């Protein structure tokens, strides 16, 4: 599974596919390749259960066909009552909603809509169109979603580290000038200084920072104007 390309624009040609798209709102287009065995049916509920523990607000999503995207029943079993295709399209669709969820929570979007479009050739490729408020944040949420989904599809436990990454991203979005104030961030988030440094490396790997933008040094630099 990999992200082939990311671009941004209004993409008016696909606006009719989701009536909830806001007029003239910028969208991110994520070209995604998903390579899974054709002989093994995708167990969306199992994957969704892992992801929903990290992002519980997914259970409040609605598809453009006015169905709840996912919920947890009383027995704690995961369910995703949406129209299931039964193949890798389900994974692409879930990833679209994950990008939406991350963006909405980190950058405080009042609403966010998207659509998943599959290719006929190659049939393992998808376009994910998602409204975005901040291009850099949309890119970060896309790569974070990819990283989480890879773990979920391998049947691995989704590390608590991802929640810390999301917390740090939320913090830096609110206080961008504190980007090099590691001690301040450590105190505010109640996380060890060394953990903050490690999490910053994760943010770099997940394209949180724009190319050619902020350079993160291992030396401690405190912001004078806090």
- Taking only the tens place, the pLDDT of each residue in 95-133 is 999 999 999 999 989 889 999 999 999 999 999 999 999
What DSSP letter does each residue of 4-21 carry, written as one string?
EEEEEE--GGGGGG-TTP
Q: Give pLDDT tens digits for 142-157.
A: 999 999 999 999 888 8
Sign of CA dihedral 76, 82, 85, 87: negative
CA distance 189 to 171: 8
The bridge status of strand 2-9 relative to strand 27-33 is antiparallel
Q: What is the b/e burial string over 9-40, where b = at least 16 CB atoms within 10 angstroms of the residue's CB?
A: eebeeebeebeebeeeeebbbbebbbeeeeee
CA distance 90 to 105: 23
Per-residue pLDDT for the chain (226 aa), expressed as one digit of tens each? Answer: 999 999 999 999 998 999 989 988 999 999 999 998 765 666 777 888 889 899 988 877 777 654 444 333 334 444 544 556 667 888 999 999 999 999 999 998 988 999 999 999 999 999 999 999 999 999 999 999 999 999 999 888 899 999 999 999 999 999 999 998 999 999 999 999 999 999 999 999 999 997 534 444 433 333 333 3
In whole angstroms, how far apart are CA 135 and each of 5, 47, 57, 169?
14, 27, 22, 14
195: closest CA among 158, 161, 151? Answer: 161
- Name the residue among 216, 116, 202 with its Cα closest to residue 167: 202
The DSSP element (H or E) to which 164 belongs, if any, is helix 161-174
Which residues lie below 8 Å from residue 72, measured CB to CB, with a gap of 6+? Answer: 49, 52, 59, 78, 79
Predicted TM-score of the model (pTM): 0.85
Spatial CA neighbour of 220 closest among 185, 190, 169 = 185
List C-alpha distances in Å: 21 to 31, 97, 112, 136: 19, 14, 8, 20
């Amino acid at each position: 599974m990999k992200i082939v390309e990311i671009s941004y624009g209004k993409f008016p040609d696909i606006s009719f596919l989701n009536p909830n798209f806001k007029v003239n709102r910028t969208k991110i287009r994520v070209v995604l390749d998903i390579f899974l065995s054709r002989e093994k049916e995708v167990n969306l509920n199992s994957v969704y259960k892992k992801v929903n523990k990290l992002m519980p607000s997914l259970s409040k999503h609605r598809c453009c066909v006015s169905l709840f995207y996912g919920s947890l029943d009383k027995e704690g079993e995961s369910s995703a009552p949406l129209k299931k295709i039964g193949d890798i399209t389900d994974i692409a669709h879930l990833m679209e909603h994950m990008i939406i969820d991350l963006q909405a929570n980190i950058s405080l979007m009042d609403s966010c809509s998207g659509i998943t479009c599959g290719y006929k050739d190659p049939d393992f490729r998808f376009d994910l169109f998602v409204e975005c408020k901040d291009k850099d944040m949309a890119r970060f949420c896309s790569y974070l979603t990819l990283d989480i989904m890879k773990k979920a599809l391998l049947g691995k436990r989704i590390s608590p580290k991802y929640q810390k990454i999301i917390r740090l991203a939320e913090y830096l979005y609110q206080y961008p000038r504190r980007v090099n104030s590691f001690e301040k961030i450590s105190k505010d988030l109640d996380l060890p200084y060394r953990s903050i440094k490690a999490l910053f490396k994760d943010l770099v790997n997940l394209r949180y920072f724009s190319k050619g933008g902020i350079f993160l040094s291992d030396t401690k630099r405190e912001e004078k104007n806090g």
